[in-house]
Structure 1
Amino acid sequence: MPKTLKVPHTLVLLLAMMFVAYLATWIVPQGFFDTVETANGRQAVVPGTYQVAAESHYLTPWDFLTAIPRAFAAAQDVIFFVLIVGGVLAIARATGTVDALIGRLLEKHGDKPQKLIFAVVFCFALASSAIGTAGEYIPFVLILVALCKAMRLDAMTAVGMIVAGYGIGYGVSAFNPFTVLIAQQIAEVPVYSGLWLRLAIFVPFVLIGFHHVWSYTKQVQADPSRSLMAGIPCPLEGKETHDYPKLNRRHQLVLLSFIATLVIAVWGIATKGWYLYELGGLFVAWGLVITVLGKLDANTAANKFIEGTSDLVTTAILIGVARGIALILDDGKILHSLVYGMSLPLSYVSAEISAVGMLVIQTLLNTFIPSGSGQAYVTMPLMAPLGDLVGVPRQVAVLAYQFGDGFSNMIIPTNAVLMGIIGMAGVPYGQWFKFCLPLLVKLMIAASVVLIAATFFGYGLDVQPQIAAVVSQ
């Protein structure tokens, strides 16, 4: 009987993808679009200006090797945020608050995990849709893993709840300033126009995510051997609590301080443009506060912080290597060539098929450009005028971008936030791929139906700009 195919370690998979990207820089023609600087200092490509580079400069094996430490430097914001959160949560756990909270939740929902799953998917999707939260979910990973473990569920369920909410929220976002706002500005349609459709599809898409996670959970409950995490150690192994403490006044104060920290984080993101450096500083402050509230001495808090960060060194390494794939493609000057080559076939098919083609292109390109705003600046200046040529309203082109960027965020290994989440939960990427791929297929089919209907019924034609003829420079 043949041996079961063993999935390589996540680090091996990422390094292999980096090497494939490196080989691609020798095969794919190097080329570029002209770019212009936008009002906020970002570079946007100019449609119709693609040209093959006059001289090709190929990356050497040394360039490949040095790309790895450079990728760590490029991903330092996510890496250090993950380490800080892990350390601070270890302090929080030392106060007994996390275990007390889990015990309280088990009392209320221990026999009804479907309510917990729906609430987490819905709330995370709502937050991502409204303000573009993503890395902010990392503090919840170990808490939900511990809760799922106490409910006799696996870490895959915990990650599924978080990532399904995050990806779907980005995909059907109503107000996300990092995707919707930027893409609509580039496409020259009114900001936040077409809101009614995005609001109408929010709950149906959330239900798709909930159904997928809940179906898996029921399968594992019925037969634990069918868990994708069977035989894989949990990061909380040996740290289980069976006699949960009562939620006392001190624990309540720690929880209130956590809620206050999240409120301040949302305020900072929405009004001050905060991102991971500022959020990291905020969590450091929270760690100091809970040390006092939890009546921990300085040495205990310091030891717990170091212990928490030590547990996430593997995760930090995976995040750094994941960033290297996009870095190699950018260094090899083939990113624009890939965008150009993928867009060409759309001019030969119907408008409805072109809209679905835009979804496929945006999904594929998200592997190489994992930043939502970065992808908008590279692709939307091309997709918007291309839509004019093939009969796809610009509003539909924006929707295709949202779907492609958001849904594929759940599975692409170049997404540092995803790698941070699954790394903290101890979920190997190969196992996560098996879990997430069917969900991605379901969402892509639903998204294709929406795009075809939106194109057919002229969604966005009421705000379609009158495009003047482009005069070549």
Structure 2
Amino acid sequence: MSNILKVPHTLILLLAMMVTALIATWLVPQGFFDTTLSESGRQMVVAGTYQTVSERQYLTPWDLLTAIPRAFAAAQDVIFFVLIVGGVLSIARATGTVDALIGRLLERHGSAPQRLIFMVVFCFALASSTIGTAGEYIPFVIILVALCKAMRLDAMTAVGMIVAGYGIGYGVSAFNPFTVLIAQQIAEVPVYSGIWLRLAIFVPFVLIGFHHVWRYAQNVANDPSRSMMIGVPCILADKAQPDYPALNSRHKLILSSFILVLCIAVWGIATQGWYLYELGGVFIAWGALIAILGRLSADETAERFIEGVSDLVTTAILIGVARGIALILEDGQILHSLVHGMSLPLSYVSAEISAVGMLVIQTLLNTFIPSGSGQAYVTMPLMAPLGDLVGVPRQVAVLAYQFGDGFSNMIIPTNAVLMGILGMAGVPYGHWFRFCLPLLLKLMLASALVLVLAVMFGYGLDVQPVAQMS
């Protein structure tokens, strides 16, 4: 029975999804919406312009094979950022700073892991909610895995803390510039309007995520045999130290420089439009700095960096292949067809059910369009006027988009950031799916309740564009 239920390797799952996407391009009607350029220069679909192609074009197995290297090129920013972070953190471990930090955290939180879990989930959710951080959490993976290992927890707990915070932060974002700002602009409602509701539901949703991770961690602490990571080797199995060094002045200086790096990264994201290329450059500079502060030789620094990079080659492969799924759907001209087909049933149900339907559609479409801003440009030009027809305020349509995009980020294998985090932690995707699915269902149920109440109480009617009411 165990062999029958055994989940294939993550790479096999992703390749199977690519094959499924290829077959879908042969069966699903091929079509497209007309597009126009937004003020920011991004392509945005035009509602009511969907049309099927005059002659179906068939992708071949050869197109599937060539899509894989093309997908690696398309995901190169995430791939290289992950490799760079892995190399730099390997340098940091060589200085003893990471182990000293873990030792200090164990002194303060070793007897109260629930406090640590809440702090991590809350802080990561807050950062994602405000400035849209995501890939920036990758540097924390190895540190939290090592910390959980020392607390007799597992890597699943570490990933749960990070991803729950990341996904919930995006889902209930107060003013994430990559999702809320763009979606509200497209829906033609005032930017950052309706923030009071998003702030009100932030803590309750964070508590849902915290409770899920903490309950699992508590079960593992009480009975290690209940860990979902049984039989999966820990990535730090041969690197953990039984005795942690004291946190000396040199370690503190390196940690202070890390905080400075994070501040520079936040500044660059918020004011200069930085993303992974620039952040990668910042981490390379930090790697050189900590090598100097840690008094590592040039050769040792190079060896440690290459060692850290080599540990994440598997992760880089998974990220690249994951991008290939969406690439096949785009090449096969069925991405817009999926959006169009899913939106049609909403015009036949009540406003409350339509709002929940929008949530379901955004959740499903996030598998094919894992970019938050990209999904906004494809779906919001359709959902906003559709909401006018069925009585769903545009502000509620934006909220449904947020929920669907943010929460599903925690589980879809096409999310490069998620695959990077799982790869760095050594958590197989199948194991993660079993851990995360119940949490996603809880969040979806809570989201559906919020959406129904939002429609009932007229959330967003005060900013509804009157000229476009049906």
Classify the TM-score, shorter chain: over 0.9
> Aligned residue for 2:132?
132
RMSD: 0.9
Q: State yes or no: 1:321 paired with 2:321.
A: yes
Superposition pairs of residues 28-427 of structure 1, within 5 angstroms: 28-427=28-427
- Once the 2 structures are TM-superposed, how far is the Cα of residue 69 of structure 1 from its aligned partner? 0.5
- Once the 2 structures are TM-superposed, how far is the Cα of residue 467 of structure 1 from its aligned partner? 3.0
Superposition pairs of residues 15-30 of structure 1, within 5 angstroms: 15-30=15-30
For 2:136, give the aligned amino acid.
E
- Whole-angstrom CA distance in 2 between matches of 1:49 and 1:73: 31
- Whole-angstrom CA distance in 1 between matches of 2:107 and 2:407: 34
Contact 2:103–2:246 (Cα < 8 Å) also in 1: yes
SS at match of 2:466: coil
- Whole-angstrom CA distance in 1 between matches of 2:320 and 2:167: 21
After alignment, is 56-65 or 6-15 more displaced? Answer: 56-65
For 1:400, give the aligned amino acid.
A
- Whole-angstrom CA distance in 1 between matches of 2:102 and 2:196: 38
After alignment, is 236-245 or 353-362 more displaced? Answer: 236-245
For 2:466, give the aligned amino acid.
Q
> Aligned residue for 2:437?
437
For 1:442, give the aligned amino acid.
K
Structure 2 gap segments, 5+ residues each: none
- Whole-angstrom CA distance in 1 between matches of 2:144 and 2:61: 42
For 2:42, give the aligned amino acid.
R
SS at match of 1:36: strand
- Whole-angstrom CA distance in 2 between matches of 1:105 and 1:222: 21
- Once the 2 structures are TM-superposed, how far is the Cα of residue 280 of structure 1 from its aligned partner? 0.2
For 1:382, give the aligned amino acid.
L
- Whole-angstrom CA distance in 2 between matches of 1:339 and 1:97: 49
Cα deviation code 1:164-210 (max 9, x no counterpart): 00000000000100000000000000000000000000000000000
- Whole-angstrom CA distance in 1 between matches of 2:97 and 2:2: 49
- Whole-angstrom CA distance in 2 between matches of 1:60 and 1:354: 37
For 1:276, give the aligned amino acid.
L
Contact 2:388–2:469 (Cα < 8 Å) also in 1: no
- Once the 2 structures are TM-superposed, how far is the Cα of residue 223 of structure 1 from its aligned partner? 1.0
> Aligned residue for 2:447?
447
Contact 2:388–2:468 (Cα < 8 Å) also in 1: no
For 1:389, give the aligned amino acid.
L
- Whole-angstrom CA distance in 1 between matches of 2:209 and 2:422: 17
For 1:49, give the aligned amino acid.
T
SS at match of 1:176: coil
- Whole-angstrom CA distance in 2 between matches of 1:2 and 1:78: 35
SS at match of 2:467: coil
- Whole-angstrom CA distance in 2 between matches of 1:124 and 1:462: 32
For 1:235, give the aligned amino acid.
I
- Once the 2 structures are TM-superposed, how far is the Cα of residue 307 of structure 1 from its aligned partner? 0.3
- Whole-angstrom CA distance in 1 between matches of 2:3 and 2:200: 48
SS at match of 1:44: strand
- Whole-angstrom CA distance in 1 between matches of 2:57 and 2:267: 46
For 1:95, give the aligned amino acid.
T
For 1:388, give the aligned amino acid.
D
- Whole-angstrom CA distance in 1 between matches of 2:139 and 2:11: 23
